Amino acid sequence: MSLPVNGRVIVETTVGDIDIELWAKETPKACRNFIALALEGYYDGVIFHRVVPGFLVQTGDKTGTGAGGESFYGEQFEDEIHPRLRFAHRGLVACANNGGKNSNDSQFIITLDRAEELHGKHTLFGRCVGDSIYNVLKIGEKELDGNERPLYPPKIKTIRVTENPFPDIIPRITAAEKRAQQRAREQGQKEREEAARRKGAKKDVKLLSFGADEDVEEEPPTKFKKKTMARPDLVDNPESKSSVLPDFASMGPPPTKTKDVSRTESSEKSVAEKKKTEKEVDITKIREKHAKEQSSKSTSRLTEIEKMEAEIRKMTKRRDGGDSSDEDGRPKKKKRSYLDEELSKYKKNTVKRDRDGKKVKDEKDIIAAMNSFRGRLQGHDEDDEPMEDGEAAEKDAGAGEDGERPAVDPEEAGEEVDNDVGFLAHRLRFPKDSGEESVKAERDYEVIDPRQRGARAKEEERERKRQSGGKKQRR
């Protein structure tokens, strides 16, 4: 029977989650180191760098070589070998060392089978539980190179601590802060690369020189002379075409040109109105074209519908045996449907017939027949008087209502004739009970009630105790 566990973590890997329970009471240093590094996010992105099929898988080295790793204590810590914790089956988690004693750090191993040879050499501090062991076996089935290293090594995404047996652990840096720092470093690297790319994109004329042009002297850049801006219309003497700008400060305000301005405004208005009218004409043409297209479509559609209707009429005439050469287009008088015929029959209250051609009575006829039969029954009840048993037997033997037997044709004596109406006066009668039968039943049959038997037994027991108590008092 294994020792009780205390603590739990979930290792999220690229092949699935691994659920691990910890023996924190028996191996406190190893469990504290493992949980503290998990809280700091040390194992995030670490690969499984070693796989020995049928024996173990190893991880926990941030360098991915198997030669790195660091502990939470800042230095390697000592082994914690417990006599009750042995490598008896697969899925056991233990510290990985460098081959010597007391050399534990962040690396750990998970066994794939029984490994008694590891007992006394490695600190066993946890075990895999549930179906998560199959994810460990998937890692053990990876393709390897010659140095027990997977060609495509699985990776630890993160380790979540679900049950922390050491609430006093204060991480040096949390996993969230570490991820934020990593993102900031990556962003800074991208910005530096982008700046370098932009800086290198500038044109360098010196880099475009060739060996043949080294002796050629560089020509000075050509300078273009700017033309001076002159406005003769703003000068008092427009005939003088001086290229030098006049002194506007000494000239005062320029004269107003009301005619030119009004002419310009009117020309702008006329251009705008012309554009507007052209636009309206274009819209009108587009609308007319659209209306013509719609009308042509509707006309063609109606033509197609008329053709289809004419074809349907021809097919109907051929099916009904009519003359196919009649193409006057006038539809024939429609035949009455089966539903209309049945409704007309129902309205006229005609006689209904079944499949064999026999008449089927209507509801009114059935109700009338029932009422007549009820009247016949009531009439027989009033006319009949109570009869003795002998008379009733004689009447049942074949007598009619008047007490005489019906005449039977001698030729039809062998046939059974169903003309007995005496059943209308039959009544169900029972002999009067004088009480003899009930007395006989009470005498011959005994009713056993188990509750009475139990009550009788209790009463006898009480009586026995009462008698025994009286005898003791006498003594």
Among 141, 157, 182, identify where a domain stops.
Answer: 182
**Which CATH number goes with the domain that contains 89?**
2.40.100.10
Each residue's pLDDT tens digit, 241-262: 444 445 555 555 555 544 454 5
Residues 98 and 155 in one domain: yes
pLDDT value, residue 403: 47
- Cα-Cα-Cα-Cα dihedral sign, residues 188, 193, 199, 202: negative
Residues 33 and 87 in one domain: yes
Residues 43 and 177 in one domain: yes
Residue 413 resides in a domain: no
Give the integer Cα–Cα distance in Å for 107 and 71. Answer: 9
Whether the CB-CB separation of 314 and 326 falls below 8 Å is answered with no
Tally of domains within the chain: 3
| Residue-number span of the structural domain to which 39 is assigned | 8-182
pLDDT value, residue 378: 77
Residues 147 and 285 in one domain: no
Give the integer Cα–Cα distance in Å for 135 and 12. Answer: 10
Whether the CB-CB separation of 71 and 79 falls below 8 Å is answered with no
Give the integer Cα–Cα distance in Å for 4 and 94. Answer: 17
Residues 304 and 364 in one domain: no
Residue 96 resides in a domain: yes
Residue 412 resides in a domain: no
Residues 86 and 167 in one domain: yes
Residues 176 and 309 in one domain: no
Residue 240 resides in a domain: no
- Per DSSP bridges, beta strands 359-360 and 156-163 are unpaired
Phi, psi of 330, deg, nearest 5? -85, 130
- Cα-Cα-Cα-Cα dihedral sign, residues 42, 44, 49, 55: positive
Please give the DSSP secondary-structure letter assigned to residue 255.
P
Residue 218 resides in a domain: no
Residues 92 and 146 in one domain: yes
| Residues with Cβ within 8 Å of residue 78, at least 6 apart in sequence | 29, 101, 102, 104
Residues 364 and 293 in one domain: no
Nearest one of 46, 171, 148, 23 to 107, comparing CA atoms: 46
Residue 71 resides in a domain: yes
Name the E strands within 116-190. 124-128, 156-163
Whether the CB-CB separation of 80 and 30 falls below 8 Å is answered with yes
Give the integer Cα–Cα distance in Å for 6 and 234. Answer: 99
pLDDT value, residue 259: 46
Phi, psi of 352, deg, nearest 5? -90, 150
Residue 133 resides in a domain: yes
Each residue's pLDDT tens digit, 104-113: 999 999 999 9
Residues 288 and 366 in one domain: no
Residue 205 resides in a domain: no
Residues 306 and 167 in one domain: no
Residues 53 and 125 in one domain: yes
Which secondary structure element, helix H or strand E, spans residue 289, and what is its range?
Answer: helix 258-320
Tens digits of pLDDT across the chain (475 residues): 467 888 899 999 999 999 999 999 999 999 999 999 999 889 999 999 999 999 999 999 988 888 888 888 888 899 999 989 999 999 999 999 888 888 899 999 999 999 889 988 999 999 999 999 999 999 999 999 888 899 999 999 999 999 999 988 888 777 777 788 888 888 888 888 888 888 876 555 555 555 544 554 555 556 656 556 555 666 555 554 444 445 555 555 555 544 454 555 566 667 777 777 777 777 788 888 888 888 888 888 888 898 899 989 888 888 776 554 544 555 555 666 777 777 777 766 555 666 676 666 667 778 888 888 888 777 766 555 555 544 544 444 444 444 445 554 545 545 555 566 677 777 777 777 777 777 777 777 777 788 888 888 999 999 999 888 877 666 5
